[in-house]
């Protein structure tokens, strides 16, 4: 068999597989995505099992050991109030995952109806909604989130709402584009000709077929949400003490850069690993679900 025909038969085999199986196969070949997946699973496990695996209570202070360097008893050392940093980082994973899920959930809940209405209705409704979406997109998400915090006040709950609102236009624009793409498909025309209700067409026929890019955006937005929450925490506008939020922990540690570097290094490193995990996983997912979207 020539190389050409081998390639053709391999391509033929891939075509015969179900789309999910094809995506799974492509994902398995994506090494970087697998590294991301492993890191993500570690993050999730750390968050879920924090009360079981954390060696100490994250809020119990021991002033005799304040700023103590890493040791066998305290792997990441102690912070400025003598709290075990490793335990606080583990509990921080729980808070970060929570922030990611709730913020992205808010963004989806707000962005989805907006994008669906704009994409499905078209015409004047689309023009007005698109103008609003584009206008909000012209604001950097962090500034939008800070503006919301300025209005409703600092705190973890408001930070999650603020981040959710700041991510909303991204989802609205993406869902609008996907709805426009799918609504022109022949099968949508067919169900419309059969007299299906608009809401049913949207929920049953359009939305499931627009899901792959939305799933990718959810993953990448989780990274943005966690990063934004750490920024707000660092500025004192997000989670308040003694909540073990990574950004707030780093802010507390920066006063001791000279004497106790570990207090800033560990929270910063885990934020970076978490963002890296979501970015690697999201990129891999995009390549697997929609190989045409792979831009260089």
From candidates 59, 61, 240, 279, binder to other proteins by CB under 8 A: 279
For residue 265, the minimal CB distance to other proteins (Å) is 8
CB 132 within 8 A of CB 192: no
How far, in Å, CA of 136 to CA of 120, rounded?
Answer: 20
CA atoms within 13 A on the CB side of 134: 8
Nearer to other proteins, 39 or 207 (CB): 39
For other proteins, the binding residue among 151, 186, 193, 194 (CB under 8 A) is 151
Cα–Cα separations (whole angstroms), residue 60 to 49, 73, 122, 146, 242: 19, 15, 57, 31, 10
Residue 149 binds other proteins, judged by CB under 8 A? yes
What residues form DSSP beta bridges with 78? 84
- Residues pairing with 84 in the sheet: 78
**Residue 139 in the binding site for other proteins (CB under 8 A):** yes
Q: Which is nearer to other proteins, 144 or 179 (CB)?
A: 144
Judged by CB under 8 A, the residue of 12, 140, 208, 241 near other proteins is 140
For residues 270 and 92, is the Cβ–Cβ distance under 8 A? yes
Are 256 and 263 a contacting pair, CB within 8 Å? yes
Backbone angles phi, psi at 78, to 5 degrees: -120, 155
Integer Cα distance of 166 and 147 in angstroms: 10
Q: Please report whether residue 276 would count as binding other proteins according to CB under 8 A.
A: yes
Taking CB under 8 A as the binding criterion, the range among 45-53, 70-78, 88-96, 148-156 that sits at the site for other proteins is: 148-156
Binders of other proteins among residues 240 to 259 (CB under 8 A) are: 247, 250-251, 254, 257-258
Q: Measured from the CB atom, is 201 or 227 closer to other proteins?
A: 227
Residue 36 or 212: which CB sits closer to other proteins? 36
295 binds other proteins (CB under 8 A): yes
Which residue, 243 or 264, has its beta carbon nearer to other proteins? 264
Site for other proteins in 221-240 (CB under 8 A): 223, 227, 230-231, 234-237
Residues 125, 289: Cα–Cα separation, whole Å:
31
Q: Which is nearer to other proteins, 152 or 187 (CB)?
A: 152
- What's the CA gap between 50 and 124, in Å, rounded? 51
Tell me the helix, strand and coil percentages in the chain, rounded to 5.
80, 0, 20
Q: How big is the chain, counted in residues?
A: 296
CB of 96 to other proteins, least distance (A): 12
Cα–Cα dist 44/114, whole Å: 31
Interacting residue with other proteins among 127, 128, 135, 190 (CB under 8 A) = 135
Minimal distance, residue 243 CB to other proteins, in Å: 18
Q: Which of 138, 184, 193, 292 binds other proteins (CB under 8 A)?
A: 138
The C-alpha atoms of residue 160 and residue 96 are separated, in whole angstroms, by 10
Residue among 142, 191, 196, 207 that touches other proteins (CB under 8 A): 142
Looking only at Cα atoms, what is the longest distance across the chain? 76
CB 133 to other proteins: min, Å: 13
In the complex, the residues that contact other proteins under the rule CB under 8 A are 135, 138-143, 146-147, 149-152, 154, 223, 227, 230-231, 234-237, 247, 250-251, 254, 257-258, 261, 264, 268-269, 271-272, 275-276, 279-280, 295-296
């Amino acid at each position: 068999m020539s190389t050409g025909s081998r390639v053709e038969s391999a391509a033929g085999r891939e075509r015969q597989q179900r789309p999910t199986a094809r995506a799974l196969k492509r994902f398995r070949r994506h090494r970087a995505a697998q590294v991301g997946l492993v890191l993500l699973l570690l993050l999730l496990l750390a968050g879920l099992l924090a009360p079981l695996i954390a060696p100490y209570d994250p809020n119990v202070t021991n002033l005799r050991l304040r700023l103590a360097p890493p040791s066998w008893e305290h792997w990441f050392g102690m912070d400025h109030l003598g709290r075990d940093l490793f335990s606080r980082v583990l509990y921080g994973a729980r808070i970060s995952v929570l922030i990611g899920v709730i913020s992205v959930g808010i963004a989806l809940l707000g962005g989805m109806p907006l994008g669906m209405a704009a994409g499905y209705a078209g015409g004047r409704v689309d023009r007005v909604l698109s103008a609003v979406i584009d206008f909000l997109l012209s604001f950097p998400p962090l500034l939008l989130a800070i503006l919301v915090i300025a209005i409703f006040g600092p705190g973890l709950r408001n930070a999650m709402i603020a981040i959710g609102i700041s991510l909303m236009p991204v989802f609205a624009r993406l869902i609008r584009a996907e709805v426009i793409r799918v609504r022109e498909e022949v099968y949508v025309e067919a169900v419309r000709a059969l007299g299906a209700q608009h809401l049913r067409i949207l929920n049953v026929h359009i939305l499931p077929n627009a899901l792959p890019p939305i799933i990718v955006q959810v993953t990448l937005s989780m990274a943005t949400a966690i990063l934004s929450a750490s920024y707000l925490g660092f500025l004192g506008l997000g989670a308040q003490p003694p909540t073990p939020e990574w950004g707030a922990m780093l802010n507390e540690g920066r006063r001791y850069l000279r004497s106790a570097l570990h207090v800033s290094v560990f929270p910063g490193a885990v934020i970076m690993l978490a963002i890296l995990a979501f970015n690697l996983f999201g990129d891999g997912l995009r390549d697997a679900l929609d190989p045409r979207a792979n831009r260089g």
